Amino acid sequence: MSALRYVSTRGRAPAASLSDAIAAGLAPDGGLYVPEQLPTIDPSAFDPKGDLAATAATLLAPFFAGDALADALPAICAEAFTFDAPLRPLARPDALVLELFHGPTAAFKDFGARFLAACLRRLRGEDARALTILVATSGDTGAAVGAAFHGQPGVRVAILYPDGRVSPRQAHQLGSFGGNVQALRVAGSFDDCQRMVKAALNDGDLQRDVPLSSANSISLGRLLPQMGYYAHAALGWWRMHGTPLDFIVPTGNLGNALACLWARAMGLPIGEVRLACNANTTLPEFFAGGDYRPRDAVATIANAMDVGAPSNFERLRWTWRGNDDALRRDLHAESLDDAAIRTTLLRHAREHGGVVCPHTATALALLDREPVRQGRAWCVVATAHPAKFETVLEPLLGQPVPVPPPLAAMLDRPAQAEPLAPDEATLDRWLRARSG
């Protein structure tokens, strides 16, 4: 098979191999890497008895064909997908929950972070200089990336997070690694953190002195594996019921939802896809017919989705070949404010005895608006374990949220973060001062 090439969404960077695209993070023209074209795959190509790692390896094989990492793909998937993504029934007969929070840091970000780490471990080879992984986080990415790279020789991780805008437990997790993983609390928003990381990655001078890579959802090494759990869930449903599975995805930076849409575009049995957003309305306004207008993020109780300028929007537009009308026909996004999220959390706890995280609640709120159907099912994507958001949930529900053991272990460790001003020059100085 000839190797798939990867190009920039902005079209002004040379085509790259998958390995190079993963190592670089961002394309040199500031765009995001995408495959020259999305491969397709027949659902019958998957082993019906295969586990999640096997499904991911089959799904991703065409992306890796001909690349230096191709032979290692099954091993990479086995290292990344060491925990399950179970589908559980909801109280109504036409709905399920896909639980993506059974990894070490209790959010779906563990899948992508572990896959990226497994790729970079193999790509680093003999380079003697330490590689610095930069990651901007709205709460969960940083911990997942920190956990995935913690203790790995030759790699340092710098996590930038918006000070005061992540949950206390998220902040504790971010600062709890020590060693090669440093947390930086930025006096600004997630979008500031993301802008600073992008500027550093685009700065050729800095890159010559401090080898940098990114672990944000702009990295293909995180985006591609996220398709795995959508494929696995949809195939399982389709084999039993013969219908595609419809998804409602809590959305911030559009990484998780884009993975779902790419899996659908490849030919997997995925039907409708709905985006559930919090009070950050950039996407809902676009899908309601408005212009795409990135703006500052507003803080909400679903903080990991506090994004006003979703970076993967460039990839979304690329996927629809720049045809915004077609994009608006094929996809919907809705905004839920904090009051609606709280109402849904309470109702869900009362009616189902279940506690979900505030992000998952945005998706449940959209499900609530749908009439019960015959023969088709909605799959609500549960993006994090509720115990990460106890300061929102416990006062509301009046009961403690049990903490899963890996999260409890992380919370037992001391935590530390350095303050950082929200500008590119400060990050540049910080990186140079700590390199070498």
Residue with tokens 């961002």: 26
Minimum Å gap between C-beta 362 and ligand PLP is: 8
Compute the distance between CA of residue 434 and CA of residue 342 in angstroms, rounded to an integer.
43
- 97 C-beta neighbours (distance < 10 Å), count: 21
Minimum Å gap between C-beta 106 and ligand PLP is: 9
Residue 371 is classified by DSSP as: P
Minimum Å gap between C-beta 239 and ligand PLP is: 27
Give me the amino acid identity at 303: N
Compute the distance between CA of residue 185 and CA of residue 218 in angstroms, rounded to an integer.
21
Minimum Å gap between C-beta 381 and ligand PLP is: 8
Compute the distance between CA of residue 17 and CA of residue 35 in angstroms, rounded to an integer.
9
- DSSP E strands in 114-218: the ranges are 131-136, 155-162, 181-186, 212-214
Which stretches of 310-379 are DSSP H helices?
A: 313-319, 324-330, 338-352, 358-368
Closest CB to ligand PLP among residues 51, 285 = 285
Region for 358 from its dihedrals, namely left if φ exceeds 0, alpha if ψ lies in -120 to 50, beta otherwise: alpha
Closest CB to ligand PLP among residues 185, 385 = 385
Compute the distance between CA of residue 251 and CA of residue 276 in angstroms, rounded to an integer.
6
Closest CB to ligand PLP among residues 209, 338 = 338
Minimum Å gap between C-beta 81 and ligand PLP is: 18
Closest CB to ligand PLP among residues 314, 428 = 314
- Give the closest residue to 153 by CA, choosing from 124, 184, 115: 124
Minimum Å gap between C-beta 276 and ligand PLP is: 9
Compute the distance between CA of residue 288 and CA of residue 58 in angstroms, rounded to an integer.
36
Minimum Å gap between C-beta 384 and ligand PLP is: 3
Closest CB to ligand PLP among residues 140, 246 = 140
Minimum Å gap between C-beta 111 and ligand PLP is: 11
Closest CB to ligand PLP among residues 18, 166 = 166
Closest CB to ligand PLP among residues 59, 276 = 276
Closest CB to ligand PLP among residues 139, 422 = 139
Name the residues that contact ligand PLP, by CB under 6 A.
107, 109, 139-140, 217, 250-257, 304-305, 357, 359, 383-384
Closest CB to ligand PLP among residues 210, 261 = 261
Compute the distance between CA of residue 348 and CA of residue 355 in angstroms, rounded to an integer.
7
Minimum Å gap between C-beta 132 and ligand PLP is: 22
Give me the amino acid identity at 362: T
Closest CB to ligand PLP among residues 170, 180 = 170
Minimum Å gap between C-beta 105 and ligand PLP is: 9
Closest CB to ligand PLP among residues 39, 250 = 250
